[in-house]
Structure 1
Amino acid sequence: MKYSQIFKNPITRGLTAIQFLSYFGTVFSHVAIASLLVKLGAGADMIAMIFIAILLPSLVLAPVNGYIIDRFEFKKLILVLLVVEMSMTICFMMVNSLEYIWLLWTFLFIRSIAGTIIFTAEMSYLPKIISGEMLKEANEVHSIIWSSTFAFGMALGGLSTYYFGYIGTFMIDFSFYVIAFFVMTRLPIEIIRNKSQSAWSATKEVFGYIRANPKTVRIMILHSSVGLTAFDTIVTLLAKTEYKYVIAVPLAIGWINFSRAIALMIGPVIFGKHIKMNNLWIIIVLQGITIILWSFVQYDFYLSFFSMFFVGLFTTSIWSFTYYLLQQNTDSEYLGRVVSYNDMLFMAVSVGMTYAIGKMANAGVQLSHISMMMGAIFFLAAFYAFILRDKIATDAKKPN
């Protein structure tokens, strides 16, 4: 089995389980939240702003995220953050009208802050305990976990919202975080001490390191291209205006995202062992082409369901490979802070795209035209990857 070493190691196996539970919990409530917005009559701008609340923390936390990760003990930090996620999920049940949307935004923002730190902490911790091919496989497993939870979380979240309502779905969501918390308490996590620095000193140091290593910025730009695939607002608006005549809104949102997420899960298995720096640009071109093809058929629920599979097929391959490049080309001492700024750039692209989608849709731009523009931008990213194909090493060794 390709990923057997990941699951034989008790720590990576445990962290994998926590990733699965935490991600599943996050995604499970997305359909309920999107459906609630549609039921309450939220417009395109409001829907976009709610999804921005999910994405924004990675953008605003970047200056301190790496410092937090380096400053606090990994296990205690994760446990505290899981409690925050549990608390905010319970608070979702307070929102039952548009006048309380600001509360929903706040609860989502706080929960996303916790989730962002958990993600960055785990991606920074892994290179400290594993390396080489095992680290690359761990990234692939991570992307498969994200996409599988996205798939089944969206599908089951849609079914749960349809049959049990919003309150029932939020309660089930809460239970996933509880299980993740107890799994974390039992993990034999090694305490790795980092040198003590002030936040300002740590920030200056990492910027100095990034300036001295321009390839780090280049990899971060390539990785951020995946942030263009921020389809949540488009799918929600399509469900609200088109798919509702074919299928209930929660089920439409859930099943369209399920189709994409199944492909996200399969993608790294098919392309993971073949993707290299010299052919990355081809994968990015294919990503752009599939998005443009989806734009032509997205108004038909069944054709959209089918074509969205191909949209998702290349996304996690780009994500996992560029993350691996960053880990391999960054000194371990700076990795936590570099990963934090990498996530900031990634989310800046996602937030910017989500905001632009909301504004353009509100101004009357057709969703198909917006989707075409998203696909076309990938051609620019592919050109950049083509230029860099011989300039970034895939097997760089980080000094101790």
Structure 2
Amino acid sequence: MKRYWTLLQNEPVLKRLSIIQLIAYFGAWFSNVAIYTLLIQMQVDATIIALVAALHFLPGVLQAPLSGVIIDRIHPKKLMILLTLIEIGCTLLLLLVSNREMLWLLYILVFVRMGASSFHFTVEMSLLPRILEGKSLQVANEIHSIIWSLSYTLGMALSGIVVYWVGIRAAFVLDAGLFVFALLLLKGLMFDLKSENADSRFIIMMREAYCYIRTNKVVLHLMLLHAVLGFTAFDALIALSVQHYYANIIAISLGIGLLNASRAVGLVIGPMVLGNWVNNKRLGWLFIIESITIGLWGMVMENFYLSLIASVLVGFVTTTLWSYTYTLLQHHIRSEFYGRVVAYNDMIFLGVGAFTSLLIGYLAKNTISLETITFILGSFFTLCALYYGWIRRHYCLKEIG
């Protein structure tokens, strides 16, 4: 923990960005429980739940070619303010969704809001390597992932309680208020950053990024390596497990909130324990451990209380995998391509997350058990460990720090 506090004290821009991240990510997750609870109350089938989960990822896939160029041309603060305003508007408009006939509006609002959220995320992740480097960048990524996980924990858990006590609509109103608070903090964020590509043309910049990734194979392989973390997009799986196994013992909103919160406890603790231990040589073992813990969760899924414990174990390794693979990628990108490469990286990652959500819905609708689905998702991490071993044999990866 000491290394986190030291870096935050020495880097005032990172400190304010981290506070903004905490509030904005909390807001992004706070209304998710309300959305899934609303869908289950409408008695929609598994494919609709999976589609809504996929809509959390698809915007980032579709907008990546343009968003990366925009990030490399426009000042990050202006972008983040605009994106936060979009999130506020979409969150308030969710109040209009009250029945199945309004599902079309829910789809649009989730799509646009998560598009703004993923864009916001890409802006910040392309900003970090411009103000930090080496081990400081790895620690900043760990702080970022811990904030994401803490926001996920508190957002899901508290939203479950709010939805249970005061209802779905109150959750949406409170959520919009959080984004307003983040907007006020953003206006006070001050830093000097000159774009290296302000006068370049869009098409030329897109072509340059494509050629850069194509000719630097190690960057492409690190993008694919990081994208495997998209197979931890368990939102649809968790909502379905509550609907199928736990609805008779706990309120739906509380069940969804507690399961997500349990996994996020592991997400928060993991990097504190593993952050100093992980390196290029040991990274492969973390993929193996992730595969094992996901399989263990599948084995105990029918038991709510054992599932809570297993969820903590699933989250324990995930954050470190995410932050270390992201830092490895950032470490191998030339500075003038940060925005575009990070945007394409997020496109692949979010594409895998969208595919995972749709796959869960498709398999569940075709009577594949949730336990089997969980084992399938876990197996991808075993394959990824082998893939990482291949990368290390064929490329010389820079050590971080």
Q: What is the TM-score with the length of structure 1 in the denominator?
A: 0.97
Cα root mean square deviation, aligned: 1.2
Matches for 1:77-88 after TM superposition, within 5 Å:
77-88=79-90
Q: Which residue of 2 aligns with 1:299?
A: 302
**SS at 2:392 equivalent:** coil
Q: Does 2:398 correspond to 1:394?
A: yes
Point out 4+ residue stretches in structure 1 off by more than 6 angstroms: none
8 Å Cα contact 2:298-2:372 kept in structure 1: yes
Whether 2:261 is the aligned partner of 1:270: answer: no
Deviation at residue 396 of structure 1 after TM alignment: 7.1
Cα distance in structure 2, aligned partners of 1:87 and 1:68: 22
CA contact (8 A) 2:138 2:400 kept: no
Match of 2:40 in 1: 38
Does the aligned pair in 1 maintain the 2:72–2:338 contact within 8 Å? no
- Specify the alignment match of 1:235 in structure 2: 238
Deviations 1:168-226 (A, max 9, x none): 10111111101100001111121422322222111110111111110001111110111
Shift of 1:95: 0.2
Cα contact 1:329–1:396 (8 A) shared by 2: no
Q: Distance in 2 between matches of 1:257 and 1:4?
A: 26
Which structure 2 residues correspond to residues 64-103 of structure 1 after superposition, within 5 A?
64-103=66-105
Counterpart residue number, 1:182? 184
2:330 is aligned to 327
Which residue in the other structure is 1:339 paired with?
A: 342
Stretches of structure 2 that go unaligned for 5 or more consecutive residues are none
Cα distance between partner residues in 2 of 1:209 and 1:84? 32
Residues 168-247 of structure 1 correspond to what in structure 2 (within 5 A)? 168-195=170-197, 196-247=199-250
What is the aligned-residue identity percentage?
37
Partner SS state of residue 3, structure 1: helix
Shift of 1:254: 0.3
Q: Residue 133 of structure 2: which of 124, 131, 134 is its match? A: 131
Q: Does 1:119 align with 2:121?
A: yes
Residue equivalent to 1:381? 384
What is the rounded CA distance, in whole Å, between the counterparts of 2:286 and 2:400 in structure 1? 22
Answering whether residue 141 of structure 2 is matched by residue 150 of structure 1, we say: no
How many residues are matched?
397
Deviation at 1:5, TM superposition (A): 3.5
Number of the residue aligned with 1:288? 291
Counterpart selection for 2:264 from 258, 261, 265: 261
Q: Distance in 2 between matches of 1:104 and 1:365?
A: 27
Q: 1:85-120: CA deviations, max 9, x gaps? A: 000000010000011111011001111111111111
Between the aligned partners of 2:193 and 2:137, the Cα distance in structure 1 is 19
User: Of residues 353, 357, 369 in structure 2, which corresponds to 1:354?
Assistant: 357
